[in-house]
Structure 1
Amino acid sequence: MRRIIFMAQRPRLKYRIRRMLVTGKAYLALSLISMTVVLLLGLGGIVQNVLAASPVQSMKGFAASVSGSFFASLLGMELPHMDKQEEKSPVSASRLASFLVRWMTELNPDDPKSLLALEMPGMDRDSAVLLRPGSGGGGEAPEDHEPGQDLPSDEEDLNETPSPESGASPDVSEPSPEPSAAPEKPDASKAPGPGDRQTTEGRKVVFIYHSHNRESWYPELKEGTKDPNSDTVNVTLVGKRMADQLEKRGIGTVHSDKDYASTVKGYNWNYSYKYSLQTVKEAIAENKDLKIFFDIHRDSQRRSKTTATIGGVAYAQVYFIIGHRNPNWEKNEAFANSIHQMLEKKYPGLSRGIWGKTAATGNGEYNQSVSPDSVLIEIGGVDNTLAECYRTADVLAEVIAEIYWERQGAVKADAPAQTK
């Protein structure tokens, strides 16, 4: 009897065992797949951090990669009374896939040009990430345009564009107008001057150069000129002004006004930083004491986005550009921030902040790996005058000199402790 009951229960037992095995296999398979996905994501994150040490992959990168409608749609999921537009939801599989690709690779599937941007210089140079905001304006990123390209037009800016000022003469010996009510204007008696003992004693410690040396300004060129570039009146005059002002403050400075378009055989604007890097290396070979490097540019934005009025006087605003392709870009950013913060304190409104660029959005290195104290500075835009740029160059020289002498004082103060 028992044998009969056992035989009757055998099919049920087999069924239960088979069911348990099938369920276990499915569970095991799902666990392995989940584990694999997690490991791949982790490895992908590690590789990304190694290959691109940039804050682009932070939430700033997320915000820059998706449209406002994406966030509006996400809010709509939690706020049922939020107004919704009658359009296809941005939270679609294709858009999410596009975002994931951009987030992980910095490539835009909707823009085929981005697939080549990493290997072909100059194809996608306009995008940047704001690292430190400045009081000089909103979140407009600096713009870089190749000579001959059409610049963005703005009717308001065109109407505001001034004619050359009386102070716009290329003679850098002419003093710039001082702001009548500049906040926290430093005491001129405390600043090192030509007669002061505080000097670098003949050592050249600052190098100023220009990767895009022909960048100029509409007010300084012939009326009707469409291309704001010149081989005579250009940003090299601003660099020379800044170099002279640093020298007056006791800081030995070398300035290069090399014109690459006329001196480089087979010149290609897209390889400007390759040419200027050679200039930097030659300068270092001739002056072993060079520690600080400034690549001075002129931005391509219009007047309303590149001009500040301080004490009733117009100044060309500045951007600081940091290349994240340089593995030690944080040190360069720290140096730029010391200048930026002092400008914010003494001349609020002059700085438009510090911006970072990766290899996917431009050169990405900007010769900044040669020194932790190497920075690219954009001074003014196409509608500023030379006089306005001179005033800003004077302010920058004043601030940089103050930072330099503060550093030297700190080094001297630490010297006795190091010898003990």
Structure 2
Amino acid sequence: MSGRTKFRSSKFKRCKKSGNRYLLLGVLLFLLLGTVFFLWNNFKTEPAAVSVRDKAVRWEISWRKDLFKNFLNQTIPGLADTTQKLENSQNEKSSSELGVGKNNSRNVINSTLYALTSVDPDDPKTILNAQISTMQNVSFLTENFSPLNFDEEYLKDEIGTDNFNVYSGESLTPSLLSAGLRPLVVIYHSHTTESFVPSSGKEFTEDLSQTVVRAAEELAYLLERDYGVRVIHNKVVHDIPRSRAYEKAADTVKSLVKKYPEAALIIDLHRDGTTREATTAVLNGEEVGRTLLVVGTNHSRWKENFGFALKFNEKSEELFPGLSRGIRERRFTYNQEVHPRAILLEVGGHRNTLEEALRTSRYLAEIIGEILNEI
């Protein structure tokens, strides 16, 4: 009798443990499905009239979320079909159904879910972090996207920031320009060896005649010839190795601004590393590399840089609609704190030809010439 009792007792314990496992799996499955539902619900774009700055920020958020959406679609069977149905269902709802009360309820659920699982539906990366601990240290930025090939530690630590604001703002005034003095533009390259694959056969080369340096030479020549603008073009190679490019470029640009305090504009000229479709436009029947302005916001004077970028972008759209891809903000400095009109300017991408980039330089010369006349 005692043996039967022990047998039944052990069998009961095994059943109980098995039942607990199934219950736990059921709870985890419920949380996963709930996370996916709310995650994709938050991917929905809200149509609204927003400023250029807001559009840039929203584009950045959308770009990151799309990257994670594609990643999850490829790794979870059937997820794409399921979430597409959810998105279609959400799109059919009227705006009146998405009221404040409903949003508050969703926020409560999101907060509760994060407290229990460390998963935030508004941040897809937390889902991966919960499953793979080392994912917390992984960046999903593309390798070739030029503004982001930086020395992360340098930018995070902001080496020399306190001594970096060398531009006084007193050397260049409207009265100085109106007095007939030729404006000065400084051009340099944090990623000097960025090249154009169809022309050079590779993404980076030390043959500067095939890189962004050549595009800048064309821009400098046209500014001087057609608009009487003085140009200082620095061709120092900063991106060997690429991991220290911005750190090395910092010394260069600081020296340039100190040497030429009258500079009206500082350009860090790059080329992008995204698809050809994104970086190519047709103007006057010819294919050209589209431009992109990148503004670093991780310093106290970034609004001055952003304000000038807005002016630059507006002038580009006025003269050559479709040439510009707009403005992108990043939580770094890109050494732009040295001058209120310091910009990072992308000219085409690695899939454009050098000739297409040179055509872009011709349009840029007119844009910059017009802007300088209005300062």
TM-score by length of 1: 0.53
Task: Supply the distance in 2 between the matched residues of 1:378 and 1:62 (Cα, whole angstroms).
Answer: 20
> Does residue 405 of the first structure (1) align with residue 373 of the second (2)?
yes
Q: 1:331 aligns with which of 304, 314, 322?
A: 304
One-letter amino acid matched to 1:398 = E
> Does residue 268 of the first structure (1) align with residue 227 of the second (2)?
no
- 1:61-117 per-residue CA deviation (whole Å, 9 max, x = no partner) reads 7766767849739939978xxxxxxxxxxx7765795337849xxx75625667447
Task: Supply the distance in 2 between the matched residues of 1:210 and 1:62 (Cα, whole angstroms).
Answer: 27
Q: Which runs of 5+ in 2 are unaligned?
A: 1-52, 70-82, 95-108, 151-176
Contact kept? 1:199, 1:250, Cα under 8 Å? no
Task: Supply the distance in 2 between the matched residues of 1:381 and 1:285 (Cα, whole angstroms).
Answer: 31
Q: 2:339 aligns with which of 353, 371, 376?
A: 371
One-letter amino acid matched to 2:276 = R
Q: 1:286 aligns with which of 259, 263, 267?
A: 259
Question: 1:214 aligns to what?
Answer: 193
SS in 1 for 2:303: helix
Contact kept? 2:189, 2:234, Cα under 8 Å? yes
Q: How does 1:3-402 map to 2 (within 5 A)?
A: 69=83, 72=87, 75=90, 94=113, 97-99=118-120, 102=123, 108=126, 110-111=128-129, 115-116=136-137, 123=139, 125-126=141-142, 201=181, 205-221=184-200, 225=201, 227-232=202-207, 233-248=210-225, 249-260=227-238, 267-358=240-331, 364-402=332-370
- 1:395-420 per-residue CA deviation (whole Å, 9 max, x = no partner) reads 1111111111111xxxxxxxxxxxxx
Pick closer, same or farther for the CA change 1:325–1:302 going to 2, 3 Å.
Answer: same
- 1:193-232 per-residue CA deviation (whole Å, 9 max, x = no partner) reads xxxx999646x621101000001112222xxx4x411111
Pick closer, same or farther for the CA change 1:76–1:228 going to 2, 3 Å.
Answer: closer
Residue 328 of structure 1 and its aligned partner are, at CA, apart by 2.2
Q: Report sequence identity in percent.
A: 24
SS in 1 for 2:269: strand
Pick closer, same or farther for the CA change 1:285–1:124 going to 2, 3 Å.
Answer: farther
One-letter amino acid matched to 1:99 = D
Task: Supply the distance in 1 between the matched residues of 2:114 and 2:55 (Cα, whole angstroms).
Answer: 19
Residue 271 of structure 1 and its aligned partner are, at CA, apart by 1.9
One-letter amino acid matched to 1:250 = G
Pick closer, same or farther for the CA change 1:113–1:57 going to 2, 3 Å.
Answer: farther
SS in 2 for 1:296: strand
Task: Supply the distance in 2 between the matched residues of 1:348 and 1:237 (Cα, whole angstroms).
Answer: 24
SS in 1 for 2:334: coil
Task: Supply the distance in 2 between the matched residues of 1:349 and 1:143 (Cα, whole angstroms).
Answer: 21
Residue 257 of structure 1 and its aligned partner are, at CA, apart by 0.9
Task: Supply the distance in 2 between the matched residues of 1:143 and 1:260 (Cα, whole angstroms).
Answer: 13
One-letter amino acid matched to 2:229 = I
Task: Supply the distance in 2 between the matched residues of 1:337 and 1:228 (Cα, whole angstroms).
Answer: 30
Residue 258 of structure 1 and its aligned partner are, at CA, apart by 0.8
- 1:16-70 per-residue CA deviation (whole Å, 9 max, x = no partner) reads xxxxxxxxxxxxxxxxxxxxxxxxxxxxxxxxxxxxxx96998777766767849
Contact kept? 2:238, 2:246, Cα under 8 Å? no
Residue 370 of structure 1 and its aligned partner are, at CA, apart by 0.8
Task: Supply the distance in 1 between the matched residues of 2:327 and 2:230 (Cα, whole angstroms).
Answer: 26
Contact kept? 2:56, 2:329, Cα under 8 Å? no
Task: Supply the distance in 2 between the matched residues of 1:65 and 1:215 (Cα, whole angstroms).
Answer: 24
Pick closer, same or farther for the CA change 1:309–1:295 going to 2, 3 Å.
Answer: same
Q: Which runs of 5+ in 1 are unaligned?
A: 1-53, 80-90, 118-122, 128-140, 148-196, 262-266, 359-363, 408-420
Task: Supply the distance in 2 between the matched residues of 1:237 and 1:199 (Cα, whole angstroms).
Answer: 32
Task: Supply the distance in 1 between the matched residues of 2:211 and 2:58 (Cα, whole angstroms).
Answer: 38
Task: Supply the distance in 1 between the matched residues of 2:309 and 2:271 (Cα, whole angstroms).
Answer: 17
One-letter amino acid matched to 1:333 = F
One-letter amino acid matched to 2:333 = E
Contact kept? 2:145, 2:273, Cα under 8 Å? yes
SS in 1 for 2:119: helix
Which one is further off, 269-278 or 93-102?
A: 93-102
Contact kept? 1:125, 1:144, Cα under 8 Å? no
Pick closer, same or farther for the CA change 1:402–1:65 going to 2, 3 Å.
Answer: closer
SS in 2 for 1:298: strand
Task: Supply the distance in 2 between the matched residues of 1:283 and 1:401 (Cα, whole angstroms).
Answer: 21
SS in 2 for 1:228: coil
Residue 383 of structure 1 and its aligned partner are, at CA, apart by 2.1
Contact kept? 1:207, 1:293, Cα under 8 Å? yes
Pick closer, same or farther for the CA change 1:58–1:371 going to 2, 3 Å.
Answer: closer
Task: Supply the distance in 2 between the matched residues of 1:349 and 1:76 (Cα, whole angstroms).
Answer: 29
Contact kept? 1:291, 1:371, Cα under 8 Å? no
Equivalent pairs counted in the alignment come to 261
- 1:136-190 per-residue CA deviation (whole Å, 9 max, x = no partner) reads xxxxx9666769xxxxxxxxxxxxxxxxxxxxxxxxxxxxxxxxxxxxxxxxxxx
Q: Which has the higher helix share?
A: 2
